[in-house]
Structure 1
């Protein structure tokens, strides 16, 4: 039954016009950038800036709206002799697979054709993990409140905080405490934002960490080796697992 729910959700989402348009948009942008730039690395850098904004935004907003639109279906499943955690995980599985497939088709295929190297694969991995993270955060926002407008507002605030507001706060902290050694603090602050963490991993793979100034040297020292990359990837995966675990726990006790 668990796999049947995932298949149903996946099939329903993959036919959605918004998801199809999202996939085509990513494909068109990726293809255009690779054809416009002579150097594939420059195209990857340009694509990175678009992905870090668009992928989290679409993932979190669409997933939140989908959850609320599927509420009657979820209530029907809850009425069946099915564990609530499996119901929610099945919904998440369908959405996560759909957005991963969309990203793979939209961005992965051009990367495999134009830039089949470690940088391209890191971009592909980071984009898929960011999709999983923001679907997870969307579920947490939707489970916390029954009000659709409030849930969508919370999801948008999460995206706004991580994509736009967080960098300003970090710069303020670094500037305010510039007279103190902040190497460990800089790494810790990066780990608190999955979007920044994905950006750093890709820039390190491109060997352009010098563009990030002093902090780039710190990132290169701590995250520039294999162990650092695996550790940062693991932290990004935690950003997907922890919010989903909290959402499952809340959903299991929630009065629908």
Structure 2
């Protein structure tokens, strides 16, 4: 299992797309942190990048890599290895590679030029989103045999979590505005990892105007510290269930 993970990590780290992604994150982070006098404004700008660009790159890159490595995965399946270990090794290699790229591109500049607790939270949220959307990519790739459909599902998943979900939540809240919606709003916020990441960081910044309705409910329902801890627990659940589902489908899949 360690050899497979090492092979996947070394293979991905040589990938020009991942190298370019790392350099781009590093340049943007350095520019925002060095050229912006207001540290809060720089953190909010980086937060937008983490919430939009990071999930998109993670889910599409992981999906494409899985399909390109399908022959390698089939070769491993023919060996006396458990399927669970094979898929888990590929996933861990993917997640580690994306985490390395994010930590170099965003984590290091934040720790060097900021070093605040908010910066640490932003790094943790970015790492969590990289892991979550890699797991979602593995799940979609295992379920879809065709590469074009798999990439399409990956793009639609990102579009749903990044853009469409907030619109649906606002529509439901508007339609049922006459009813008490505090508890349903907490549930709806928990169903989107990107929203959870945004709420966790903004709770620390105390930017209630930018948290939206679900973020304001998190702040009032759990409090700042309780809301952040609850958000991280929910992010951990988001890391686990797509991978468990993917492992289950992969074990039953006819390759």
* TM-score normalised by the chain length of structure 1: 0.97
Q: Tell me the distance in 1 between the aligned counterparts of 2:161 and 2:211.
A: 18
Report if aligned partners of 1:223, 1:232 keep a CA contact under 8 Å in 2.
Answer: no
In structure 1, the partner of 2:174 is 175
* Residue 186 of structure 1: how far off its partner (Å): 1.1
Q: Which 4+ stretches in 1 moved above 4 angstroms? A: 213-216
Query: How big is each residue's C-alpha offset from its partner over 1:82-116, in whole Å with a ceiling of 9 and x where there is no partner?
Result: 00000000000000001011100000011001221
**C-alpha contact (below 8 Å) 2:12/2:18 kept by paired residues:** yes
CA distance in 2, matches of 1:76, 1:224: 51
Higher mean alpha-carbon deviation, 113-122 vs 57-66, is at 113-122
The within-5 A match list for 1:1-256 is 2-212=1-211, 215-256=214-255
Shift of 1:219: 1.9
CA distance in 2, matches of 1:214, 1:75: 47
TM superposition shift of 1:215: 4.6
Supply the distance in 2 between the matched residues of 1:84 and 1:140 (Cα, whole angstroms): 14
Q: Distance between the aligned counterparts of 2:233 and 2:168, measured in 1?
A: 24
How far, CA to CA, are the matches of 1:136 and 1:185 in structure 2? Answer: 26
- C-alpha change, 1:215 and 1:88, in structure 2 (3 Å) is closer
Measured after TM superposition, the shift of residue 217 of structure 1 is: 3.5
Q: Which stretch shows the higher mean deviation, 89-98 or 220-229? A: 220-229
CA distance in 2, matches of 1:215, 1:138: 26
Pairwise CA distance, 1:54: 0.4
How many aligned positions are there?
255
- Judge conservation of contact 2:67–2:147 (CA < 8 Å) in 1: yes
Alpha-carbon distance, 1:175 to partner: 0.8
* Secondary structure at the counterpart of residue 135 of structure 2: helix
Distance 1:76 1:213, change over 3 A: closer
Q: Distance in 2 between matches of 1:210 and 1:35?
A: 26
TM-score (norm 2): 0.97
Deviation at 1:214, TM superposition (A): 5.4
CA contact (8 A) 1:210 1:216 kept: no
CA contact under 8 A between 1:95 and 1:135: conserved in structure 2? yes
CA distance in 1: counterparts of 2:4 and 2:41, whole angstroms: 41
